[in-house]
């Protein structure tokens, strides 16, 4: 897709600070890093979200996320990572090409993704679990 910035990086039409390439993925430094070494891993094929990535591509793609995480660990020695993605505009996705953030952390005591939510009612857990199971 010529209008997708990540497709343009994957094709080589747009420069980025590449750190890793494979047949299934490309990894490059985030232009707006939350920490030194903040890396994005994108599939070579265009998929807006995880739901759009073909099932047969998921395993290879996430193996590459693991490879990139190991490479960042070896190079920068963070104490931990946040690894994940924003799935949809209302979750903060700004580039609509699936990309996994490999975000190194350099100090202990992070709050994790739970700090991003607004909580929930523990009394609804059974009802919510049943709804998900039946979907």
Question: Which token pair is 96?
Answer: 């609509």
Q: Sorting pLDDT into bands at 50, 70 and 90, what band is 98?
A: very high
**At which residue do the structure tokens 């949809």 appear?**
88
Give percent of the chain above pLDDT 70.
97
One-letter-per-residue 3-state SS of 98-121: CCEEEEEECCCCCCCHHHHCCCCC
Helix (H) or strand (E) holding 31: none
Q: Sorting pLDDT into bands at 50, 70 and 90, what band is 119?
A: confident
pLDDT per residue as tens digits for the range 16-42: 999 999 999 999 999 999 999 999 999
Q: 108 or 4, which is more confident?
A: 4
Q: Which pLDDT score is estimated for 1?
A: 66
Q: What is the CATH number of the domain that holds 57?
A: 3.30.428.10
Question: What's the domain range around 85?
Answer: 5-134
Active site residue 99: yes
Quote the CA–CA distance of 50 and 117 in Å, as a whole number. 20
Quote the CA–CA distance of 9 and 58 in Å, as a whole number. 20
Q: Which pLDDT score is estimated for 67?
A: 98
Which one of 38, 46, 99, 101 is the catalytic residue?
99
Quote the CA–CA distance of 115 and 32 in Å, as a whole number. 21
Which residue stretches of the chain are H helix?
5-11, 55-76, 125-134
Q: Sorting pLDDT into bands at 50, 70 and 90, what band is 109?
A: confident
Domain count along the chain: 1
Whether residue 49 is predicted with pLDDT greater than 90 in this model: the reply is: yes
Quote the CA–CA distance of 119 and 104 in Å, as a whole number. 25
Q: Which pLDDT score is estimated for 36?
A: 96
Q: How far is CA 89 from CA 20, 66, 97, 98, in A?
A: 27, 25, 12, 12
pLDDT, average across residues 70-99: 96
Q: Sorting pLDDT into bands at 50, 70 and 90, what band is 79?
A: very high
- State the pairing for strand pair 100-105/39-43: antiparallel
Quote the CA–CA distance of 82 and 78 in Å, as a whole number. 11
């Amino acid at each position: 897709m010529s209008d997708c910035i990540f497709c343009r990086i994957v094709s080589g039409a747009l420069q980025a600070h590449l750190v890793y390439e494979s047949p299934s993925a490309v990894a490059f430094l985030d232009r707006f890093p939350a920490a030194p070494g903040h890396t994005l891993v994108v599939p070579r094929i265009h998929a807006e979200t995880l739901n759009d990535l073909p099932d047969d591509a998921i395993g290879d793609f996430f193996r590459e996320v693991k490879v990139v995480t190991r490479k960042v660990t070896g190079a920068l020695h963070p104490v931990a990572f946040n690894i994940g993605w924003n799935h949809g505009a209302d979750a903060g996705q700004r580039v609509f090409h699936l990309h996994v953030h490999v975000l190194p952390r350099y100090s202990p005591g992070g709050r994790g993704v739970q700090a991003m939510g607004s909580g929930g009612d523990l009394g609804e857990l059974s009802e919510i679990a049943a709804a998900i199971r039946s979907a």
